[in-house]
Amino acid sequence: MARDASKKSNSTKGDDGRAQMKMSQLASASGLTVSTIKFYMSQGLLPRPRKSKPNVAFYDQAFLKRLIVIKRMRKEGLSVKSVKTILDKYPFEKVTEWEDFKNRARSKDARELEEEERLATLSGEQRRREAILDAAHHVFSIRGYQSATVDDIAQQAGVSKGTCYQYFSGKEEIFIASMNRALDRILAEADEAAAGEKLPLAKLGFEGLTLISKFNELQFMFMGLYTEILGGNERMRKTAREMFDRVAGVLAREVEESVKKGFFREVDPMKVAYAMLGISWAAGSLDLMDKDFDVLGYFMDLVDFVQHGLLVDRKHA
């Protein structure tokens, strides 16, 4: 009788008549520790429990199912930040919903994936690497390259310093990988912005506009690069040149193609591309410094300048 009374005192029923659990029962049912569950709650991954008294909370089956989903996602290598990113938009109630979501995401083209879907398609190894790079981007943007440490990045990523070294040889490699990833995303956005445009100037314009609007995402990193280059870091110098060549190469291909089709006169595509990069860099700096800077207006004036140059049209003067 005493045991039955004890069991009865550890549970209650909610408004819907279903059994409610205390934290200890929830931990036992989910196979997670109490501290882990409380941590997930503090990070906003779980809803607040129903409280019958100030210090007594109860949890229902829906809460347990959500916890099981989180447990599965974490077991697959998703960081807490990634789990929250996905669940904020897709609040799965069952593990099968999470599995269906992954399968749908994997059937899509990489360029069609939303951020939540991209995270779902990554392997455990890829997710840990991505979590480190996400953390690195955040740390470098706040502290700068020189002041940032691998310890800072590991803490931000929620992993050990040793885990960072499993994927990268040190801070320099993390920095370069973070820059390359940011550049990959920006170039993909530029390509998407220009997709479907047939007029050469319009294509170049939309690509340039994307570079200007995303300038602040790379500016703080380039500052770190320049400091290292001035200090004699040969690897950083080569990295910077490779990055500039990558971006210029995208623009140069558009110019070269337009020359072949007879839209543009004979020019050196790479020289034109670097000139456009310089203009985009100046515009990005203005946008960074002046909160009222008219990016679109600047873009329209730039297209007009490229099309007509500086000389007055004497035929219509």
- Residue by residue, DSSP assigns 299-313 as HHHHHHHHHH-SS--
| Chain segment 168-209, per-residue pLDDT in tens | 999 999 999 998 988 888 888 888 888 877 887 778 878 877
How far apart (Å, rounded) are the C-alpha atoms in residues 168 and 189? 27
User: Minimal CA–CA distance to 74: which of 45, 113, 48?
Assistant: 45
pLDDT band at 12 (very low <50, low <70, confident <90, very high): low
Q: Which residue has the higher pLDDT, 294 or 54?
A: 294
Residue 93 Cα to chain centre, angstroms: 25
Mean pLDDT of 80-85: 88
CATH topology for the 123-168 domain: Arc Repressor Mutant, subunit A (1.10.10)
Task: Dump the DSSP string for 124-151.
Answer: HHHHHHHHHHHHHHHHHHHHHHHH--HH
φ and ψ of 160, to 5 deg = -80, 160
Instruction: Characterize the bridge pairing of strands 50-53 and 19-21.
Output: unpaired
Q: Are 236 and 229 in contact (CB under 8 A)?
A: yes
> pTM here?
0.66
φ and ψ of 155, to 5 deg = -65, -45
One-letter amino acid for residue 141 of the chain: S
| Matching fold, domains 123-168 and 172-316 | no
How is the chain split into domains, by residue range? 17-119, 123-168, 172-316
**Burial class for 283, CB neighbours closer than 10 Å (0-12, 13-18, 19+):** buried
Q: Are 215 and 284 in contact (CB under 8 A)?
A: yes
| Residue 94 reports pLDDT greater than 70 | yes
Those residues whose C-beta lies under 8 Å from the C-beta of residue 285, and which sit 6 or more positions away, are 215, 219
Those residues whose C-beta lies under 8 Å from the C-beta of residue 295, and which sit 6 or more positions away, are 209, 212, 213, 283, 287
Mean pLDDT of 302-314: 75
Question: Which pLDDT belongs to residue 314?
Answer: 63
φ and ψ of 305, to 5 deg = -65, -45
Q: Which residue has the higher pLDDT, 270 or 76?
A: 270
Mean pLDDT, the chain, rounded, equals: 84
| Residue 49 reports pLDDT greater than 80 | no
Question: Which pLDDT belongs to residue 53?
Answer: 67
| Residue 307 reports pLDDT greater than 80 | no
Instruction: Characterize the bridge pairing of strands 11-13 and 19-21.
Output: antiparallel
CATH number of 17-119: 1.10.1660.10
What separation in angstroms does the CA of 308 have from each of 208, 219, 253, 301, 312?
A: 18, 30, 22, 10, 9
**In this prediction, what percent of the chain has a pLDDT beyond 90?**
32
Q: Which CATH architecture has domain 172-316?
A: Orthogonal Bundle (1.10)
Q: Are 58 and 47 in contact (CB under 8 A)?
A: no
Question: Which pLDDT belongs to residue 161?
Answer: 93
- Report CA Rg, the chain: 27
Question: Which pLDDT belongs to residue 14?
Answer: 52
Q: Which residue has the higher pLDDT, 314 or 280?
A: 280
Residue 160 Cα to chain centre, angstroms: 21
Least confident among 6-15, 103-112, 210-219, 301-310: 6-15
| Chain segment 227-264, per-residue pLDDT in tens | 899 999 999 999 989 988 998 898 898 889 888 888 88
